[in-house]
Structure 1
């Protein structure tokens, strides 16, 4: 029997090492650099805090990856990966400190993974934080060739007494929405099922949107850090924040409501994004299910009092009021 090598078993160490060198080179584009990047562990300096609380998130991109891989478009899901983590993190009022990625694939394809990494780097730029490190796992016989999976991890910091928890939300406060860029990274199993049943492929051109179906589906998730940062730096009081992901507006806003408060969402006050009407009609999906699965055009929610609401609207041009808080059983009502 010939002598076996790791490469013959399906794992190419040299290719993996060249990908690491590519990542090291790309991270030089970031304003903030990690300490000991490329070592066994990496980090960032933590300065200027009196009683810091370290906040952490972990998330992925879900079956949006199947769309990206079928279309051979990989840059955008890298942005999505960062966005899904950063948008969760900043709901606490924490400043993003660093990001880490995990990429698993059956066989390393450097051209594909470099595009993914370029998207991750772009997401880090938009979030004003360094890529601290990560892991790329080549796993033959586990993932089919041409398939990869992504996971992301984000760390942030906030002063303990400045954490935004939602505990001070009370009746009379208002809901302020920040528009989404589209479907973001949730509901893709339902989206793909509707398209499959209607026999619509990703290359189908939709005149009303001047885009293909695939282009609509692969629009990157919007990152809200710069808007939140502006509010924090100007001392505009926000009582609670929610990132609208799986579970939609009802499933995510309820997470920040104290007992005895109910959020009322005024559907007519949400600026209409026609892609949601398009998929609802195409799939004959009930309104309740639409709001439970998709963000419906609202990617991020702020809750504050009337006085600070006006300040938020003046600071963020595309923000809008779309509901209010009242007394009641802890829940979210779509009116």
Structure 2
């Protein structure tokens, strides 16, 4: 593409040569995600992936899409762009494993006010890291330079994941029964939800509070808030390979009150021990600083539990052991009972 350039387009704010430079810089990161099935290289019009359907007599594709949200505002303020890509991948792949599907490929979309190749490559490095953690291929993407639409130093980041599961292994929430157990897996922090409230609580754009250090966090507020979303794919799939998992809930925006009922059938409710589930210090700081009612906290944030598996009582301890053996902090946090669909915190 050495002969591809347009002075007129550049004068309008779009530098196509910067886009080519960004692609060259990101290739090393994309290469980290290569897996059997990947065909071709980045730079084409579409990403090709050859499906290996062995062990799947009735394969079903599962897709998910999401973005990072206003957490990106913190990345702008801190000028740190190499972790938000992990968030982007996490928000997509954590959703599709709730169906029992294994992520296969991921596409990203970056829209920016000005294409700065090094910054774009830094963002993509995080996307690639997320794909490595999820065990999927970064199969392509798009960078759109949009002067006049975004400020020059800002961007948006979204993604799209595709996975596959045999039809016989799709999770069926209707199998959830009274007496089943909820196994919670610890989050890494706020993840990528509730940041409009977080930014309001700390007034981060105006008072520079991101640099304030908290002893209970062991780091600055900004570092704690920017911690990337945990990717649960491999540990959860490890449990699914050994045990019957009836349903899974990814605790995202809407917190416990919105997401747990999505994993329940009618006539079943979850009773959860707040003490057993526990909270992370960052949420105590948010609640105290913002004087936020407890119910609003549990209806906005993950509170320290990023993923919940529902299993039979007889499988609960084994599920915890598998998750802990895979590097997660997991424990039983509640149980299922008959009643109006919803949750009860006690």
Match of 1:81?
A: 88
RMSD between superposed Cα atoms in Å: 1.5
- Alpha-carbon distance in 2 for matches of 1:131, 1:208: 36
Ranges in structure 2 where 5+ consecutive residues have no aligned partner: 1-5
Displacement of 1:199 in angstroms is 4.2
Match of 1:93?
A: 100
- Alpha-carbon distance in 2 for matches of 1:170, 1:314: 22
- Alpha-carbon distance in 1 for matches of 2:222, 2:121: 21
- 283-292 vs 31-40, greater mean Cα deviation: 31-40
Aligned length: 332
Displacement of 1:31 in angstroms is 4.2
Corresponding residue to 2:129 among 114, 117, 122: 122
Match of 1:43?
A: 48
Q: Is the 8 A contact 2:22 2:116 kept in 1?
A: no
Note closer, same or farther for the CA distance 1:260–1:156 as it changes in structure 2 (3 Å cut): same
SS in 1 for 2:10: coil
Q: Is the 8 A contact 2:258 2:299 kept in 1?
A: yes
Match of 1:327?
A: 338
Match of 2:20?
A: 17
- Residue 6 (1) aligns with residue 13 (2): no
- Alpha-carbon distance in 2 for matches of 1:196, 1:84: 25
SS in 2 for 1:164: coil
SS in 1 for 2:88: helix
SS in 2 for 1:280: helix
Deviations 1:149-176 (A, max 9, x none): 0001000000011001311001111111
Q: Is the 8 A contact 1:31 1:128 kept in 2?
A: no
1:304-323 to 2 correspondences below 5 Å: 304-317=311-324, 318-323=329-334
1:132-281 to 2 correspondences below 5 Å: 132-196=139-203, 199=207, 201-234=209-242, 236-281=243-288
- Alpha-carbon distance in 2 for matches of 1:203, 1:330: 42
Q: Is the 8 A contact 1:271 1:297 kept in 2?
A: yes
- Alpha-carbon distance in 2 for matches of 1:208, 1:321: 25
Match of 2:308?
A: 301
TM-score, normalization by structure 1: 0.96
- Alpha-carbon distance in 2 for matches of 1:93, 1:43: 23
- 86-95 vs 264-273, greater mean Cα deviation: 264-273
